[in-house]
Chain A
Amino acid sequence: MGKLIYMDNAATTFVDKRVLDAMTPYLTDRCFNPSSIYDGAQDVHADLDNARATIAKTLNASDREIYFTACGTESDNWAIKGVAHANADKGKHLITSKIEHHAVLHSMAALEKEGYEVTYLDVDENGFVSVDALDKAIRPDTVLVSIMYANNEIGTIEPIKEIAEVCHKHNVYFHVDAVQAYAHLPIDVKELGIDMLSASGHKFNAMKGTGFLYIKKGTKIQNFMDGGAQEFKKRAGTENVAGIIGMAKATEIAHSEMKERMEHETKIRDYMIDRILKEIPYSKLNGDRVKRLSNNLNIGFEFIEGESMLLALNDLGVCASSGSACTSGSLDPSHVLLAIGLPHEKAHGSLRLTVSHETTMDDAKLVCDNLPKIVERLRSMSPLYEDFVKKNK
C-alpha cells in the first residue's frame, strides 16, 4: 500500500504539529494543577485563562461564557439536559430535527423517558430545517430548540440566524451543535443570536477528549458536574490542561488560516463532486450543493452497498465512511439519509468523503480515477443492477 489518503476528517482529524508542541510543556515540566497556589501552578492557571479568551474571541463571546468539556457529546448532553432540567417549571417541551447527531437525539430520548415531550422536525430533500415549521412547532411550554450548525453526514448548513430569530421571538433558548462547523467557518454567536454552542477539539486538529460549550451569560442551566470550583463551579473536575492549551492553539491556527483552508477545500470538494457525478452514472449528491461544509462530499451510488465501497477504497489506502447499515452496527442505514427521503437501498449506497486543508489535488485525482472502476465492479456483481439492466433492455 502506498500513501495514506485520509478523507474522513468529519470523523476525526490529525493533531497539528504546532498544537502538539504547544501541549508538551503542560505534560512535562509544567504539569501543575491550575488550582494550586505556587507560582508554577498559577502561571498554568493564567495560561488556561488565555486559552479561554482565545476561544471566546473566535466566537465574539466573553471569556466567562466558555466552559471546557471533554467532548462534543458532553457539551450536547449538558446543554440539552441542563436547560431542560433548570427550566422544567417553565415547560417540558423541546424541539430538535431528525438529522441531529446521536449525542443530541439520544439526550432528547433520555428526557422523553423523564416525561419531557420532544418534537422532531422534518427536513427537506437537501437536509434543511424549515423555519416556518419551527415557528409553528413552538408552544407556550417549549423551553429549548436544538439544531445543528452543519450536518456531519451530508454537510448541509442550516439557516442558523433565521432559526435564532424565531426562537427569540418566542423567548425560547437556542442550542447549536457546531461540532462539524466550529473552526471550519466563521461563527459570531452575537450576530447569529446563539444561546449555547457545542464544539469538539478533535474535529479541528486538537486532541480527542477536548471540547467546550459556549453558554450565553444569563442562561438558566443546571451544573454538569458537582465538585471543585473549576469552570465557574458549573463543571467540576481538574482541567485537561494540555488538551485545552492544544485546543486553543488549534482554533487560533484554524481561524488565522480559515479563508485559505475554505478556498482550498471547496476547490477540491467541487472538483471531486463534478468528476464523480459526471463519470459515474446513477450517482447523486446528498445534501445541498451550495450551502454545505467546504470539506464535505456525500454521494449516493445506486445498486451498490457502502461498506463494500469502503473496503475497496481501503485497499487503495483511502480512508472514507458511509451511511450504510453495515458501518453503523445496526441493520438500519443512516437516519440522516432516511430523513432526506432516500429509500433504504439508496441510503445503503452512500459514500462520505471529508477532505481537509492537507488534502492535495493529487489525492482527489487518485480517488476520482479509481472510483468509477470500483463502482462498476460492485455493480457487475449486484443483483439490483442486474434487475435494473434487464428491466431497461
Chain B
Amino acid sequence: MAYSEKVKDHYTNPRNVGEIENASGVGTVGNAKCGDIMRMYLDIDDKTHIIKDCKFKTFGCGAAVATSSMATEMVKGKTIEEALKVTNKAVMEALDGLPPIKVHCSLLAEEAIHAALWDYAEKHNIKIEGLKKPVNDIEELEEDEF
C-alpha cells in the first residue's frame, strides 16, 4: 500500500487528537463493522461562527487517522460556512492523495465535520445553510460516491 509522505506524517504525528470539554458540537460517524469510527469536537464562537478549536478521536487505519488529522487542521480558524467547503476531495488533495480503497476514509472525515456542525446547529436551534443531516452509516454513502 502506497501512502504519501503527508499521509505518513499525519498518522505518525496526528494533529489535534483529543477531546474538547463542553464542546459546541460533537459528531461521530462510521461503524465498527467497516473498521472506521471518527469523532470530531468543535469549539465554535457563537457570535462570529469561527471554529476556534477542533479535536478528534479515530478508530481506524492509517488513512482514517491521517484524514481526521488533516481535516481538523483545515477547519480550524475557519467560519462554519468556510468549513462546509472542506470536502473529502479537499482533504485528500491536501494529503497528496489516498490509495483507491482508502477513499472512504476521507469521506468519513467530511461526514464527521458535518455531523459536529449539525450537532452545534441543533443545540443552538439554528439552521446552517447547505448542511444536510449527516448519515451515520458510511456504507450508505459509498454506493453513490464511487
Chain A residues close to B by CB (< 8 Å): 303-308, 311, 315, 324-326, 329, 331, 333, 343-345, 348, 380-386
Report B-chain residues with C-beta under 8 Å of the C-beta of A306.
61
The proximity string for B residues 7-47 relative to A, scoring 1 for CB distances below 8 Å and 0 otherwise, is 00001101001110000000010001111111100000000
Which residue of chain A has its CB nearest to the CB of B36? A305
Decide if B61 touches A383 in the complex (CB within 8 Å).
Answer: no
B55 to chain A, nearest CB (A): 10
Show 5 residue pairs from A and B whose CB-CB distance is below 8 angstroms, ordered by the A residue. A307-B61, A324-B35, A329-B101, A343-B32, A383-B57
Decide if B35 touches A383 in the complex (CB within 8 Å).
Answer: no
Q: Is the contact region of chain B dominated by helix, strand, or loop, or is it mixed?
A: mixed
Decide if B35 touches A305 in the complex (CB within 8 Å).
Answer: yes
With A326-B35, A386-B19: A305-B14 Cβ-Cβ less than 8 Å:
no
Select which of B12, B33, B58, B61 is within 8 A of A381 by beta carbon: B58
Decide if A331 touches B34 in the complex (CB within 8 Å).
Answer: yes
B14 to chain A, nearest CB (A): 7
Decide if A383 touches B28 in the complex (CB within 8 Å).
Answer: yes
Report B-chain residues with C-beta under 8 Å of the C-beta of A325.
34-35
The proximity string for B residues 43-69 relative to A, scoring 1 for CB distances below 8 Å and 0 otherwise, is 000000000000011111111110000
Bound state CA distance, A333 and B34, in angstroms? 8
Decide if A381 touches B35 in the complex (CB within 8 Å).
Answer: no
Select which of B14, B59, B101 is within 8 A of A382 by beta carbon: B59
With A324-B35, A344-B33: A305-B59 Cβ-Cβ less than 8 Å:
yes
Select which of A305, A333, A344 is within 8 A of B60 by beta carbon: A305
Q: Is the contact region of chain A dominated by helix, strand, or loop, or is it mixed?
A: helix
- From B17, B19, B57, B139, name the one whose CB has the most chain A CB atoms within 10 angstroms: B57
Decide if B35 touches A311 in the complex (CB within 8 Å).
Answer: no
Which residue of chain B has its CB nearest to the CB of A384? B59
- From A311, A329, A345, name the one whose CB has the most chain B CB atoms within 10 angstroms: A311
Which residue of chain B has its CB nearest to the CB of A312? B12
List 3 A-B pairs, minimum CB-CB distance, nearest first.
A345-B32, A326-B61, A307-B61
Bound state CA distance, A351 and B64, in angstroms? 18
Decide if B57 touches A381 in the complex (CB within 8 Å).
Answer: yes
Bound state CA distance, A385 and B39, in angstroms? 12
Bound state CA distance, A315 and B28, in angstroms? 29
Report B-chain residues with C-beta under 8 Å of the C-beta of A382.
57-59
A253 to chain B, nearest CB (A): 33
Which residue of chain B has its CB nearest to the CB of A322? B61
With A308-B65, A311-B62, A329-B101: A344-B14 Cβ-Cβ less than 8 Å:
no
With A331-B139, A380-B17: A386-B39 Cβ-Cβ less than 8 Å:
yes
- From B33, B37, B59, name the one whose CB has the most chain A CB atoms within 10 angstroms: B59
Report A-chain residues with C-beta under 8 Å of the C-beta of B64.
305, 308
- From A308, A333, A385, name the one whose CB has the most chain B CB atoms within 10 angstroms: A308
Select which of B14, B34, B59, B62 is within 8 A of A383 by beta carbon: B59
